Structure 1
Amino acid sequence: MAGKGYSYVVVVSALMMKFLGPSLSYVAGVYHVALMEQYEHVEVVAWLGSIFACMFDLTGPVASLVINSYDCRTCVLLSGVLGMLGFGASFFTRDIRLLFISYALVAGLGTGFAQGGCMVSIGYHFPKTSSIVSGLVTCGTGLGVMIHPVLIQHLLSQYGLHGAFLLNGGVMFNLCICAMLLQPSPFETQRKNERLQTGRKRVSCRQIVQHLRENGVQFFTVLTNTSFVMLAFSYLCFSISISTLYLYLPDFFYKSGASLQDSSLVVSVSGTGSMISRILVGFAANDTSIGSAVLYNCLPSLVATLILFLPLFSLSSVRILAFGFLTGLYTGGQFVCLLPLVLDTVDVKMLASGIGIMSFSYGIGTLIGPPIAGLIYVKSGQYFAVFIFSASMMFLTTASGFCSTVLRRSKESRSRPTEATPEAEPLEANMGCCLGTSGASQRCCQLPTRASVPCRPGAECVHSTPLLVIWSYLELRRSCDGPLTADEAAMFKCDIGFLWQHSGVHLCGVNDGLNGKDEMFNLLIDRFTEMEADFPKSTADTDGAYFVQVLCNALWYVTSHETI
């Protein structure tokens, strides 16, 4: 995780990535009108806008390849360059066939790289608070939905289609600034150091092939995870439903007697509800009593129920706007819950591949959903059948999401090791102040209370070799912050030396009336507090205390003292 001060820079930078990159896909409709005025090929223009709008999701696996081969900063940097080149080339292009390359493919690929780099970087930097951070960052998309259409329409009216393309390329080029502000995460730094140690310094054709093979293995490994496959299918169903709903909703209200202004405003109002939802769901999902899975599985059912009562909302302007707001309120949270669910389902080393596959699933749903809905409309001749299809996809989203949750928790319960019952007696220093023993130090009860640190050392290891000290410390750091970095390894050596120096004969019981071993226990507590290696409140006096006991016993043992 980024430092406490710099973490704010990472969050703001990621929010701007969402604003400058993926949210541009929502201006495809604005460009569509301008393209129709210049080119008469209706179907060709429709495909041009559709491909550009879907590229930010369809290119997810390609963005994952870049992230796995290099890092998130490189991926976002490429997005700014591709966006500038794509929109810049469109300024000089007059042939619509070339626009498929410059506008739809290159510029669309730029929005996809920004999407992938942004979400994966948040997962790398904030694995424990990904729900809150994701909720704040994805508000950048909602902000872009409100600002970009108005901005692009103004540019079109002032500078024309190709002038707007050129200026839009300049807007996307600002992604390079966001990329430079994106500090590499500890996981990316460790991965880079490992590659340097193995001699992988230069990029050659052989190493490119090796990167492709490694990414292929990662994608295959992720796809063998049944829980993840069900989650991806759930996200596919959600994208089919939401793309169908937003495409046909304005026309349904207009043909039901609403004004053209009210029919168009329903989508904008849904953007407001979506922004509010992303913030609220982010905080709710971070609550362990609720969690991301509950919200992800329940919200689509609410949307589906709302869609079934859609005819009742077409009777007045207020009801139309209320439907748009509620739709955004109940759908925006899905995008927030995605990142923490992927983190729960796959290992952090495969996060980029997981996000890439999920983005690709969403893009496929956006691509095939409207045509299927259009076919249903042609066969039935009424919009209500289309919305029944959309509601069915929402219910299927809930069902498949619930199956993913059950499979994941079933796998976790099978893989969870059985904890050994501690046989060692608890230290007097740990229980003294809690039981009100006279003269005991109050520090021993001030166990840290923030992070979740599982304690798995067995009692049979208490009187083991000095390796127990190393193992215990590595377990603590791995549980808190992921794999041990080079800096943390150096800090570990200093910490062990510090504890060794201040153990045993140097602690003779002169402080607070405690004996030497009790003071060592308190010293460990103080040291963990300084390192912010905390224990949860619910287990601080049980698992947390036992963990410190094991480490204290090991230190006492290796310094040639008698064990208890």
Structure 2
Amino acid sequence: MNAHRQRQGIFYGWVVVAATFTLTFVGFGSAYTFSAFIEVLQQDLGASRGSVSLVFSLAGFLYFALGVISGPLADRFGARSLCLVGMVLVGFGLALAGQARTIAEVYAAYGLGIGLGVGCAYVPALGAVQRWFVARRGLASGLAVSGIGLGTLVMPPLATWLIAALGWREAYLVLGGAAAAFGIGAALLLENDPGRRGLRPDGVFVEPGVVNSAAKEGVSVKDAIRTRQFVGMYVACLLSAVGVFVPFVHLVPFAVDHQIAPTVAVLLLSAIGVGSTAGRFCLGGLADRLGRDTFLAAMYAGIAVSLAVWAFATGLLALVAFALLFGLFYGGWVAVLPAVVADHFGRRNVGGIIGLLYTSVAIGTLIGPSLAGFIYDASHSYFPAIAISGGANAVAALVAIVTIGLKSRTAAEGL
């Protein structure tokens, strides 16, 4: 009975959620400002749209691929130190990007700074959240990563305003300083294991002397990757990521190409942020009630439908509708995916398993936005790239339905 008594006061798991929210706001908000810089980088550095788009693809590849290293390190040593390093790198990367004189220097500063920085912080912070919750895992994950949605809402317009007021170089310097300050403060609040506070997930208090084995529950990374569920998750994530990051780079240039003013076009990224924030806040809890496996497949299908809307949108209202719809499903996908991983494979090595899974997203991110840019350079149209993106997500939904939602689980439902 003692192991089931609740501790009074605020459950520290919600502090971990708040810290992860701030980290995702800073990291991904900084990354998603890139669309606001595309035009000025093209003009000042004399680069093509495809080569400029590759900057974002490189950063995205690195911050998802690095999770395969940062996740296991966080499982072993804790998330706090890795997130501290990550936020310092994000700040330096943005500041150094403002000093770049060639597109190659932007690759090095922004690509490596944002890529390595977010890569150090994202998976460790997500893994920490999974360890603090079971029954409300979808809700907690959704709230934690809603920082991405809010960052997408706030940061691109802020970057556009800074570029207009100060110039793009000074804008990067200001963004870098703010990212480091807020990110480091959030990282200091992270804690990896509820057992260190005498707790089990969801705030269940363990009396002194009672063995708390929560941190040992779950399967090894080696055993997880041999399962049909993990393979299905990997393939679905890879397919989805080919298309899901294309709007973050190309939606603003697409809108400008359709005679929408740049200051208005950048607000479409904010609309994605509105939809994404709603998806993370509202849909994460809904997934807990409806079933997280089925919900994940529905998110892939929703992304595919929204990209089909984009393919035929030309006016501002249609693009706003696309941005809101896409953001909703994108936010739901990001919110529920870590929870699905923890459901199937437990909490012991959740950081390492998420990190390995996200290498699929890294590959898709490297391919998608840059490929879309080069397709545009060759055809002067985004339609083929958008069609490929939507089709890939439709196939991802089918893969998820067939492979992930199986009755036999590798780990027990309560892990």
C-alpha separation in 2, matches of 1:75 and 1:260: 37
- Partner of residue 74 from structure 2, selected from 67, 80, 97: 67
Aligned match of 1:240? 242
State whether residues 68 and 355 of structure 2, in contact with CA within 8 Å, keep that contact through their aligned partners in structure 1.
Answer: yes
State whether residues 135 and 279 of structure 1, in contact with CA within 8 Å, keep that contact through their aligned partners in structure 2.
Answer: yes
C-alpha separation in 2, matches of 1:231 and 1:354: 11
Q: Give CA deviations for 1:2-48 in whole Å, capped at 9, x if unaligned.
A: 98513332222121111112221101223334433442244654433
AA aligned to 2:192 is P
Aligned match of 1:25? 31
Q: Does 1:135 align with 2:142?
A: yes
Aligned match of 1:299? 299
C-alpha separation in 2, matches of 1:166 and 1:306: 35
- Partner of residue 16 from structure 1, selected from 22, 31, 36: 22
- Partner of residue 183 from structure 1, selected from 178, 185, 191: 191
Q: Does 1:35 align with 2:64?
A: no
Rg larger in structure: 1
AA aligned to 1:39 is L
Shift of 1:91: 5.8
C-alpha separation in 2, matches of 1:189 and 1:23: 32
C-alpha separation in 2, matches of 1:266 and 1:7: 33
C-alpha separation in 2, matches of 1:247 and 1:107: 15
State whether residues 28 and 50 of structure 1, in contact with CA within 8 Å, keep that contact through their aligned partners in structure 2.
Answer: no
Q: Give CA deviations for 1:278-313 in whole Å, capped at 9, x if unaligned.
A: 1121110121xx111111112322343454455665
AA aligned to 1:352 is G
State whether residues 25 and 56 of structure 1, in contact with CA within 8 Å, keep that contact through their aligned partners in structure 2.
Answer: no
C-alpha separation in 2, matches of 1:370 and 1:356: 21
So what's the TM-score if we normalise by structure 1? Answer: 0.60
Q: 1:29 to 1:55 in 2, by over 3 A?
A: farther
1:52-91 maps to which residues of 2 (within 5 A)? 52-90=59-97
AA aligned to 1:153 is T
State whether residues 270 and 324 of structure 1, in contact with CA within 8 Å, keep that contact through their aligned partners in structure 2.
Answer: yes
AA aligned to 1:225 is T
State whether residues 124 and 187 of structure 1, in contact with CA within 8 Å, keep that contact through their aligned partners in structure 2.
Answer: no
So what's the TM-score if we normalise by structure 2? Answer: 0.80
Matched position secondary structure for 1:286: helix
| Identity value in percent | 23
Aligned residues: 387
AA aligned to 2:191 is Q
Aligned match of 2:335? 336
Aligned match of 1:535? none
C-alpha separation in 2, matches of 1:358 and 1:261: 37
Q: Does 1:146 align with 2:153?
A: yes
C-alpha separation in 2, matches of 1:155 and 1:254: 19
Shift of 1:179: 1.7
Mark the runs of 5 or more structure 1 residues left unpaired by the alignment.
Answer: 191-216, 417-451, 453-478, 483-564
State whether residues 123 and 339 of structure 1, in contact with CA within 8 Å, keep that contact through their aligned partners in structure 2.
Answer: yes
Give me the CA root mean square deviation.
3.4
Mark the runs of 5 or more structure 2 residues left unpaired by the alignment.
Answer: 1-5, 199-218
Q: Does 1:352 align with 2:331?
A: no
Shift of 1:55: 3.0
- Partner of residue 410 from structure 1, selected from 408, 411, 414: 408
Higher relative contact order, structure no. (Cα contacts within 8 Å, ≥ 6 residues apart):
2
Of 272-281 and 25-34, the range deviating more from structure 2: 25-34
C-alpha separation in 2, matches of 1:164 and 1:258: 23
AA aligned to 2:135 is K
State whether residues 284 and 336 of structure 2, in contact with CA within 8 Å, keep that contact through their aligned partners in structure 1.
Answer: yes
AA aligned to 1:410 is S
Matched position secondary structure for 1:182: coil
Shift of 1:172: 2.4
